[in-house]
Every structure is written in C-alpha cells, then in structure tokens.
C-alpha cells in the first residue's frame, strides 16, 4: 500500500503542478497577477510536490518495492504475497498484436512497465557484483528508477480507470 500511495502522491502532485503552470502561462502576463487567482493555486501545488518528500524520493520508494518483488520472485520465494497491482509483472503474456480496445492499451502499458522493471532489476543485480556499495548503485540508477516507478503508476491508474 505504501509503495502505491507514494507513487500516486508523486504522480498526481506532479501532474497538478504541471497543469497549473500551463494554465498560468496560457493566461500570459495576467496569469502571474494575484488577481487572476492562478498564482496562489500554483504556489500551493508547487509546494505539494515536496510536502512528504521530494517526488523523486517517493517514486524511488515505489521503484524499490517493485525491484524487491521481482528479486523475490527470481529467488523463488514461494511465500511472496503478490498484490493484484503487480501481478502482471510476473505474467508471461505477450504485448497485444493489435490495439482495438482499452484493454489492449492496458496490456501494452503493463508490458512496458514489466519490461522496465525487469530491465532495471537486472542492471542492479549486475552492478551489485562490482565494488560499489548498494547505496551508490541505487544513486547511479536513480533517474531510471523514477522512470520505472512512473511507468508502473501510469499503468496502475490506467488499469484502475478501465476496471472501474
């Protein structure tokens, strides 16, 4: 639950801040005036990206959860409790050949997320054999970890909207 909520908080606050900025800029110079009402909203949403930690840190918490789940599966951990939000990561379903409905889009997003999570997990495992500390390895891959978490959250949101 923490991994999903961390990712959703980072994703939603980032989108809200980005759209408020787009609205402010679209209003031209008036968007910068307090009278427009946009600037206070923009300031609040901008600060929202750091209330519970920087969004990058929240995304990294989500990515860490995903990587641990993949590594436990690779280690053959039979007692692993796979939640429904990550079950597709362990599925061998191929990407849809054609896209005719929203379920195909969901499956395409799932395949993308699965590929990214497994790719970064493999890269981290290969790096662990080097002389670098786990912390240094994590830092060197922090941008990719954020990308992995974003793809997972986008998949989560799309699937939740589709499944209703």
pLDDT at 139: 87
Does domain 2-163 fall into CATH 2.40.128?
no
Q: What is the pLDDT of residue 115?
A: 94
Domain map of the chain by residue range? 2-163
pLDDT of residue 79: 53
Catalytic residue among 17, 52, 110, 126: 52
pLDDT in tens, the chain (164 residues): 888 999 999 999 999 999 999 999 999 888 888 888 888 888 888 888 777 778 899 999 999 999 999 988 777 665 556 677 888 898 877 777 788 888 899 999 999 999 999 999 999 988 887 788 888 888 899 999 999 999 999 999 999 999 88
Q: Do residues 85 and 106 make contact, with C-beta atoms less than 8 angstroms apart?
A: no
What is the model's pTM? 0.85
Spatial neighbors of 143 by CB under 8 A, at least 6 apart, are: none
pLDDT score for 127? 85
> What is the 3-class SS of the chain, one letter each residue?
CHHHHHHHHHHHHHHHHHHHHHHHHHCHHHHHCHHHCHHHHHHHHHHHCCCCCCHHHHHHHHHHHHHHHHHHHHCCCCCCCCCCCCHHHHCCCCCCCCCCCHHHHHHHHHHHHHHHHHHHHHHHHHHCCCCCCHHHHHHHCHHHHHHHHHHHHHHHHHHHHHHC
17 an active-site residue? no
Give the model's pLDDT for residue 80.
57
């Amino acid at each position: 639950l923490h991994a999903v909520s961390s990712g959703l908080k980072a994703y939603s606050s980032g989108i809200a801040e980005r759209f408020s900025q787009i609205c402010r800029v679209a209003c031209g110079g008036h968007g910068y005036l307090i009278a427009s009402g946009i600037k206070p909203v923009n300031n609040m949403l901008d600060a929202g990206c750091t209330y519970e930690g920087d969004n990058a840190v929240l995304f990294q918490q989500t990515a860490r959860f995903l990587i641990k789940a993949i590594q436990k599966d690779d280690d053959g951990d039979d007692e692993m409790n796979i939640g429904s939000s990550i079950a597709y990561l362990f599925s061998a379903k191929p990407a849809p050949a054609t896209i005719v409905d929203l379920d195909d889009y969901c499956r395409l997003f799932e395949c993308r997320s699965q590929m990214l999570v497994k790719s970064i997990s493999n890269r981290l495992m290969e790096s662990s054999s080097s002389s670098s500390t786990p912390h240094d390895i994590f830092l060197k891959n922090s941008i990719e970890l954020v990308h992995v978490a974003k793809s997972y959250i986008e998949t989560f949101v799309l699937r939740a909207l589709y499944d209703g």
